[in-house]
Amino acid sequence: MITTKATFKVLRAMSTFFNLLLHMDGKVWLLTRSLQLTPFQAYKLRVTHLYQLKQHSILVSVGQDEHGINPLVKVWNLDKKDSGTPLCTRIFPAIPGNKPTEVSCLGVHENLNFMAIGFTDGSVVLTKGDITRDRHSKTMTLHEGNSPITGLAFRQVAKATHLFVATLEKVYCYTLSIKEYPKVELDTHGCSLRCSCLADPSQDSQFIVAGDECVYLYQPDERGPCFAFDGHKLLAHWHRGYLFLLIRDPKSPNKTGFGSRESSSSDKQFLTIYDLDNKFIAYSTQFDDVIDVVAEWGSFYILTRDGKMFVLQEKDTQTKLEMLFKKNLFVMAINLAKSQHLDSDGLSEIFRHYGDHLYLKGDHDGAIQQYIRTIGKLEPSYVIRKFLDAQRIHNLTAYLQALHRQSLANADHTTLLLNCYTKLKDSSKLEEFIKSSESEVHFDVEIAIKVLRQAGYHSHAVFLAEKHMHHEWYLKIQLEDIKNYEEGLRYIGRLPFEQAESNMKRYGKTLMHHVPEGTTLLLKGLCTKYQPNGDGANKDSLDPLLNNKANSEEFIPVFANNPRELRAFLEHMIKVEPHSPQGVYDTLLELRLQDWAHEEDPARKKVLQEEAVLLLRSDNTVFDKALVLCQMHNFKEGILYLYEKGKLYQQIMHYHMQNEEYGKVIEACKRYGDQEGCLWEQALGYFARKEEDCKAYISEVLHHIDQNNLMPPLLVVQTLAHNSTATLSVIKDYLINKLQRESQQIEDDERKICQYRVETAHLRSEIQDLKTSAKIFQKTKCNMCNSPLELPSVHFLCSHSFHQHCFESYAESEAECPTCTPENRKVMDMLRAQDQKRDLHDHFNRQLRSSSDGFSVVADYFGRGVFNKLTLVTDPPGSKPVGSLEVNLQRDLLIHTKRNC
């Protein structure tokens, strides 16, 4: 037992009139907090026992109103007054079995339903019911014995009610919450009067019995712990976790027995206050003849026989702790703080002081244990700085481990702890740290992976990355550090779709270089219908409703140096996914054209040619790219197919011209001449520039030009004038036929002129008749509905008649005949067109004559498109510009473009 007298302090000692309490005059004195005394007459002779309830203003007293052994019990309500005196609510005699016996002790339950009275003859009387009323309670003898009753105490825990009974010889416990009131004998030794009390819940509400050698604690069914306190006990009292013991000075004469508390005025007594939880003496001093110890108003009042009252006040917790710190009693300080329910900040400060003390003493292991208890309150750097020495690295490791267990470590702490493990080469601790379960992870996993990787613990880093699904770190270590490409590829195949796709884009080239077949196989699945492999498969990725397909075009760069695998991948894609991106078809076309260009075996070359053409006919390639690829590899079949597909008929013909395929030129003109008439003109110009004997081809071209009247004869002659081998015989038949047709046309025109003149003269005579003579309308039917005419009707000079309602319904103008209006409009449109052409021609001539720069006027009209239109190369279908044509081909197209006739 550690002794300290610093927990309490004596505030004052004063002399007062408490000696009046000892007079046998039957008065009860009430003392206020301001130490004002108020008496009232309770009994006629004397008062022997008082019991003040803590939760009620109820006072229970035992005394005598007449001489002899006639103890009376009175219950007082201190809140109610009767002529200035507290109201007495109940009076009944305290006699067990009608035998006159002195009352030795008194106990009242706080719920006012139980009262127990102990007697010197060893009997206990129990009053059950409302103790303040006679009608609502009954009295019975609960206990009988030969030894005087020295202590009574009620214990209420939950719904269980117990009554402890102490005698000079034994200790009993009655269970009052059970109807039969069963009794348990707890011990075979008792205590003196006033040497028992009931502890508070901090000691589990145990019954305390103070013997001469020990202090015993009792549960309702057994004896609990005991504490050795030597000396004859005169008084035991419990309040707020403290046990007050009044012990007779050993030098005083020893008096034992029931009446031993009656000491002489020369007795010396020691009052000792014990803290049973923390196991130390809180206060101890010597007094002369203590009457009683009273706890009230947060202080302790000690009444002595000489009429003095001493007040003890407990020091605050911080003062107690500071005094314990000065004596280096840190364990006691910790226990005291806990018993006083000090907050976590206060406890942490105590642990820090204790740790500093042990650290200065050289007890680093003990110090680190105290510092661990400050985690969460004390800044970790305060501790870490003390243990950065290499010789203290194991202590630092223990602290960092505790820091991680409480999930209070940051990235720097994790880095430091892993470095400690690696410096100590403690693989077992390292594995235990990183292989903790998911619920026990108290560190930043990514930081741990980085540190382990940097320290060369690749296997541990890989384990950590795989366990906590840090896929990028796992693959980075496997592929960049360990070089385990097969395992990296297998791991990617187990990932969910999004992560597998992103990692293949990142590591695809590396994996393709080292594991080409497996990488190609994974990419095939990733771009069609991806499903993760193994136990790591994500259930969401297996949902058939999800479209887990990557864009195959994005993975083409992965096969940069692996054309064989690329070809297999692309062929698989167009087979499984016919609607693959155009880039897939374009790349596959390029591969097939490359193979075709480098193939020397005729049979194999023919097969590759058919495959390339088949790919072009699939209509999935980009026109421009496919055309450029075919031109780069001089793939004739592909070029001609694309020209025809894009309706670039002039390019088809010029391709044959460049290759001097005369027959193909004629064939192209025949095949596409209906769509573009200028092909024959360009063919004629082409053969005209040839110095070889091309008479047969020229004759055939002229025949088609003549039949379809595609060129003026003069232009034909001028074109053929460039050919030195072309003679007049070549165009003889063409010119004769042309002249004959023109002569025939002249004759037809002259005949029509005569006809028009006759018709004009006839019309003029009709107009004259209409002007000079009357017009008789004899129509009997409406020209609109073909029904008989009825009045009102409408007649026109053109001999057409209509019902008025028919005319109003169909006529567009009141001044025009509905029947003649369409034909009249055609004539008027022709006249207006002729006037516009005449005005345009006249305007152009005037501008040309008045301008100083006639060429700019002509150029301006050409720019407006007034003259004959030019035949230009049009864009391919779909409005896609042919931006990839060769420069020579474009120049040739512009040179050979002719005007339409």
In 3D space, the residue among 474, 451, 455 whose CA is nearest the CA of residue 463 turns out to be 474
Asked whether residue 75 is domain-assigned, the answer is no
Residues 752 and 814 grouped into a single domain: no
What percent of the chain has a predicted confidence (pLDDT) above 90? 11
Residue type, 851: S
Which region among 39-43, 97-101, 718-722, 780-784 has the lowest average model confidence (pLDDT)?
A: 718-722
Residues 789 and 760 grouped into a single domain: no
pLDDT at 898: 36
Is the model's pLDDT at 27 over the cut of 80? yes
Is the model's pLDDT at 618 over the cut of 60? yes
Strands 207-210 and 196-198: antiparallel
What b/e sequence results for 282-304 when a residue is b if at least 16 CB atoms lie within 10 Å of its CB, and e otherwise?
Answer: bbbeebebbbebbeeeeebbbbb
Report whether 541 contacts 501 (CB < 8 A): no
Report whether 132 contacts 161 (CB < 8 A): no
CB atoms within 10 A of CB 711: 23
How many domains does the structure of the chain reveal? 2
Beta-sheet strand order (sheet of 8-15)? 8-15, 308-314, 299-304, 290-296
Split at pLDDT 50, 70, 90, the class of 722 is: low
Output the six-digit token pair for 885: 């044509």
> What residues are paired with 3 via a beta bridge?
281
Residue carrying structure tokens 């203003």: 57
In 3D space, the residue among 250, 245, 234 whose CA is nearest the CA of residue 289 turns out to be 234
Domain boundary among 835, 850, 868: 835
Which region among 380-384, 755-759, 773-777 has the lowest average model confidence (pLDDT)?
A: 773-777
DSSP state of 448: H
Task: Report, as an integer, the average pLDDT of 744-758.
Answer: 87
Q: How far apart are CA 438 and CA 467, in angstroms?
A: 9
Which region among 362-376, 629-643, 748-762, 858-872 has the lowest average model confidence (pLDDT)?
A: 858-872
Spatial CB neighbours of 885, under 8 Å, sequence gap ≥ 6: 627, 651
Split at pLDDT 50, 70, 90, the class of 580 is: confident
Split at pLDDT 50, 70, 90, the class of 118 is: very high
CATH code for position 820: 3.30.40
Residues 727 and 793 grouped into a single domain: no
Output the six-digit token pair for 86: 């507290």
pLDDT at 730: 64
Asked whether residue 699 is domain-assigned, the answer is yes
Domain boundary among 819, 835, 851: 835
Residue type, 360: L
Distance of CA 38 to the CA centre of its chain: 72
CB atoms within 10 A of CB 265: 8
Asked whether residue 500 is domain-assigned, the answer is no
Q: Is-cis flag, bond preceding 148, omega within 30? A: no
Domain boundary among 775, 809, 835: 835
DSSP state of 350: H
Asked whether residue 737 is domain-assigned, the answer is yes
Q: How far apart are CA 160 and CA 220, in angstroms?
A: 10
pLDDT at 186: 92
What percent of the chain has a predicted confidence (pLDDT) above 70? 77
In 3D space, the residue among 28, 10, 15 whose CA is nearest the CA of residue 309 turns out to be 15
Residues 687 and 747 grouped into a single domain: yes
Per-residue pLDDT of 459-499, as tens digits, reads 777 777 777 777 887 788 878 777 888 888 888 888 888 88
Report whether 138 contacts 92 (CB < 8 A): no
Q: What is the mean pLDDT of the chain?
A: 76
Is the full-model pTM beyond 0.75?
Answer: no
Beta-sheet strand order (sheet of 242-248)? 2-3, 280-288, 268-275, 242-248, 233-239
CB atoms within 10 A of CB 816: 14
Is the model's pLDDT at 74 over the cut of 60? yes
Residue carrying structure tokens 């022997």: 48
Q: Is 293 helix (H, G, I), strand (E, B) or coil?
A: strand
Helices (H), 773-820: 804-810
pLDDT at 773: 78
Is the model's pLDDT at 182 over the cut of 60? yes
Task: Report, as an integer, the average pLDDT of 495-521.
Answer: 83
Residues 788 and 759 grouped into a single domain: no
522-526, 647-651, 720-724, range with greatest mean pLDDT: 522-526
Residues 747 and 699 grouped into a single domain: yes
Orientation angle between helical segments 344-361 and 317-326, nearest 10 degrees = 10
DSSP state of 19: G
Asked whether residue 340 is domain-assigned, the answer is no
pLDDT at 75: 93
Q: Is 271 helix (H, G, I), strand (E, B) or coil?
A: strand
CB atoms within 10 A of CB 488: 24
Residues 756 and 805 grouped into a single domain: no
Output the six-digit token pair for 595: 């193979």
Is the model's pLDDT at 141 over the cut of 50? yes
In 3D space, the residue among 139, 117, 135, 136 whose CA is nearest the CA of residue 127 turns out to be 139
Q: CB burial class (10 A; 0-12, 13-18, 19+) of residue 431?
A: middle
Distance of CA 108 to the CA centre of its chain: 62
Asked whether residue 293 is domain-assigned, the answer is no
Asked whether residue 455 is domain-assigned, the answer is no
Is the model's pLDDT at 200 over the cut of 80? yes
Asked whether residue 33 is domain-assigned, the answer is no
Residues 725 and 801 grouped into a single domain: no
Residues 690 and 756 grouped into a single domain: yes
Q: Which residue range is the domain that position 810 belongs to?
A: 783-835
CB atoms within 10 A of CB 649: 20
Integer CA distances (angstroms), 358 to 318, 331, 351, 526, 625, in order = 21, 12, 10, 63, 82
Report whether 873 contacts 650 (CB < 8 A): yes
Q: What are the DSSP E strand ranges found in 135-219?
A: 137-143, 149-157, 160-167, 171-175, 183-187, 196-198, 207-210, 214-218
Residues 731 and 789 grouped into a single domain: no
Per-residue pLDDT of 404-420, as tens digits, reads 878 788 877 877 777 78
Q: How far apart are CA 154 and CA 157, in angstroms?
A: 10
Which region among 103-112, 308-317, 323-332 has the lowest average model confidence (pLDDT)?
A: 323-332
- Residue 260: CA count within 13 A, CB half-sphere: 22
pLDDT at 724: 60
